[in-house]
């Protein structure tokens, strides 16, 4: 199968407005915000709020991920404002600064599995337990993460993005502190802080470690694998088909399984690791 | 100004300990019925624990 044929297949899955991601992104954020008054006023119990918040935050990265690739609205098009709004809002609960993270994430695509230039290489581990430990370590004081030397070159743009990121994340921490000192400490703890800690492990393990494991090979057909998740497609955030995303980032997440089935002969031909998928 | 900001940012764990961990710990203690801990009001005890943990995390570079 030639590259032209490959692109022709991919093109079938690119294009329609991704309502699914828009509803997911806005609905997730607004639903999470609504949990605070609902729990505080006793409409739903704290344990249920904590469970829902954890689910929302674990899945909050994915709509923003679509926005990072401009899949909701490309630059200078009608829906760009919505793309950027969803990009910012959906990952605000996990305190990820959208625009800096987008710049770093695009470096992951350009340099997947590179020892110095892939910002996600810190997740390399032999086992899922090692990956979870690496995710934990990445959140410790003084860790620079995607701002490591060799990822983003120094520039005025980088300075601007870092400044914006500092403002966005400090606003998040400030909101948490103000709420915690004003009678909502338990809500902050169980609807925000604890779910964010869990999401902070789940997201890098599921999105970075699992689809790129063992994170050694580079190249279009080798740097991302297909894999059969023991917990199913939904609980693994659709990452069984992440290789399709690396081939064609413009294909929305919910359409990657169908695209994969059609691209599979090509991937087999190229020797892509598919691990039973 | 930039140096001052950089130094303040480096103190993040201490701010976290006092400004966020302390009220969350206090919330847990009060919910469990401990309004006093070793003779101290729960909020004071939470500030001592939160602040100390923040300083230790800053020095060790690890929360645990």
Task: Report domain extents, chain A.
Answer: 19-210
Identify the H or E element spanning B41. Answer: strand B40-41
Is residue A248 within 8 Å of residue A220, measured between CB atoms?
no
Task: Tell me whether residues B61 and A141 touch, CB distance under 8 A.
Answer: yes
How high is the pLDDT of residue A216? 96
What is residue B1's predicted lDDT score, i.e. its pLDDT? Answer: 65
Q: Are B50 and B22 in contact (CB under 8 A)?
A: yes
Mean pLDDT of A8-14: 95
The confidence score (pLDDT) of residue A257 equals: 97
B27–A173 C-beta distance less than 8 A: no
Q: Name the more confident of B43 and A149.
A: B43
Q: What is the ipTM of this complex?
A: 0.92
3-state SS assignment for residue A114: coil
Best of B2, B10, B15, B24 to substitute, by most chain A Cβ atoms within 10 angstroms, is B24
Confidence of residue A256 (pLDDT cuts 50, 70, 90): very high
| Pair A9, A259: CB distance under 8 Å | yes
**Chain B partners within 8 Å of A142 (Cβ):** 10, 61
Flag whether pLDDT at A184 surpasses 70: yes
Domain locations in chain B as residue ranges: 2-60
Mention every residue, 6+ apart, whose C-beta is less than 8 A from residue A57: A32, A93, A94, A195, A196, A198, A199
CB contact under 8 A, B20 and A140: no
| Closest Cα in chain A to B59 | A141
Chain A contacts of B58, Cβ < 8 Å?
141
Predicted confidence at residue A150, as pLDDT, reads: 84
Q: Tell which phi-psi region holds residue A3, choosing left (phi > 0), alpha (psi between -120 and 50) or beta.
A: alpha
Contacts A192 to B, Cβ<8 Å: none
Predicted local distance difference test score (pLDDT) of residue A149:
85
Which pair of structure tokens corresponds to residue A53?
């918040």
Q: With contacts defined as CB-CB under 8 Å, which chain A residues touch B10?
A: 142
Kindly identify which residue of chain A lies nearest to residue B9, measuring between CA atoms: A166
Tell which of A180, A183, A188 to mutate to test the B interface (max B CBs under 10 Å).
A180
Q: Give the integer Cα–Cα distance in Å for A151 and A135.
A: 18
Chain A closest-CA separation from residue B37 CA (Å): 18
Which residues make Cβ contacts (< 8 Å) with residue A146, sequence separation at least 6? A100, A101, A104, A107, A119, A152
What mean pLDDT is reported for chain A? 95
Choose among B62, B63, B61, B54: nearest CA to B13.
Answer: B54
- Percent of chain B exceeding pLDDT 70 equals 97
Q: Is residue A1's pLDDT more than 80?
A: no
A275 phi and psi, to 5 degrees?
45, 45
pLDDT-derived band at A144 (thresholds 50, 70, 90) equals confident
For residue A190, give the chain B residue with the closest CA.
B24
Segment A39-61 shows an average pLDDT of: 98
CA-CA distance, A104 to A254, in Å (whole number)?
A: 23
Residue A166 has a pLDDT of 93
- Average pLDDT in the B20-41 region? 96
Predicted confidence (pLDDT) at residue A5 exceeds the cutoff of 90: no
């Amino acid at each position: 199968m030639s590259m032209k044929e490959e692109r022709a297949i991919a093109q079938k899955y690119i294009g329609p407005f991704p309502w699914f991601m828009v509803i997911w992104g806005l609905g997730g954020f607004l639903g999470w915000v609504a949990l605070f008054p609902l729990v505080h006023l006793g409409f739903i119990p704290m344990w249920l709020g904590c469970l829902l918040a954890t689910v929302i935050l674990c899945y909050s990265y994915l709509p923003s991920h679509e926005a990072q690739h401009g899949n909701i609205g490309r630059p200078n098009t009608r829906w760009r404002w919505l793309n950027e709004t969803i990009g910012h809002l959906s990952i605000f609960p996990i305190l990820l600064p959208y625009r800096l993270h987008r710049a770093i994430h695009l470096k992951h695509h350009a340099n997947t599995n590179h020892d110095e230039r892939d910002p996600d290489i810190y997740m390399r581990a032999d086992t899922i337990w090692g990956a979870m430990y690496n995710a934990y370590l990445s959140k410790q004081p003084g860790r620079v993460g995607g701002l490591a030397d060799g990822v983003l070159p120094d520039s005025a743009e980088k300075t601007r993005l870092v400044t914006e990121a500092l403002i966005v994340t400090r606003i998040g921490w400030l909101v948490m502190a103000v709420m915690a000192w004003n009678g909502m400490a338990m809500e902050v703890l169980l609807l925000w802080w604890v779910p964010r800690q869990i999401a902070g492990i789940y997201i890098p393990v599921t999105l970075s470690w699992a689809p790129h494991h063992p994170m050694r090979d580079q190249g279009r057909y080798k740097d991302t694998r297909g894999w059969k998740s023991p917990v199913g497609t939904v609980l693994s955030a659709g990452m069984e088909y992440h290789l399709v995303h690396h081939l064609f980032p413009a294909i929305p997440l919910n359409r990657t399984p169908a695209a994969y089935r059609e691209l599979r002969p090509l991937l087999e031909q190229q020797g892509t690791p598919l691990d039973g998928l | 100004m930039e140096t001052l900001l950089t130094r303040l940012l480096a103190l993040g764990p201490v701010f976290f300990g006092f400004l966020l961990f302390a009220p969350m710990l206090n919330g847990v203690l009060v919910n469990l019925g401990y309004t006093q801990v070793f003779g101290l009001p729960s909020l004071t005890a939470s500030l001592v624990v939160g602040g100390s943990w923040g300083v230790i995390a800053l020095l060790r570079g690890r929360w645990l």
